[in-house]
Amino acid sequence: MHITMLGTGSAFAKRYNNNNALIEANGYRLLVDCGITLPKALHDFGMDFPQLNAVLISHIHGDHVGGLEELAFQMMFKHQRKPVLYIADVLVEPLWEHTLRGGLTQGDLNSITDFFEVQPLQVGKSYILANGLTVELIQTKHIEGKASFSFLFNGTFFYSADMRFDGQLLQELVERGVETIYHDCQLEPPGVVHACLDELLTLPAEVQEKTWLMHYGDAMEQYADKTGRMRFVKQHTVYDV
CB of 101: closest distance to Zn ion in angstroms?
20
- Answer yes or no whether residue 63 interacts with Zn ion by CB under 5 A: yes
Q: Mark the segment that binds Zn ion (CB under 5 A) among 54-62, 78-86, 150-158, 204-212.
A: 54-62
- Answer yes or no whether residue 194 interacts with Zn ion by CB under 5 A: no
- Answer yes or no whether residue 33 interacts with Zn ion by CB under 5 A: no
Pick 11 or 233: Cβ nearer Zn ion: 11
CB of 115: closest distance to Zn ion in angstroms?
23
Residue choice 4, 61, 71, 235 for contact with Zn ion (CB under 5 A): 61
- Answer yes or no whether residue 162 interacts with Zn ion by CB under 5 A: yes
CB of 161: closest distance to Zn ion in angstroms?
7
CB of 194: closest distance to Zn ion in angstroms?
8
Pick 136 or 162: Cβ nearer Zn ion: 162
83 with 52: CB under 8 angstroms?
yes
- Answer yes or no whether residue 210 interacts with Zn ion by CB under 5 A: no
Interface contacts to Zn ion, rule CB under 5 A: 11, 61, 63, 162
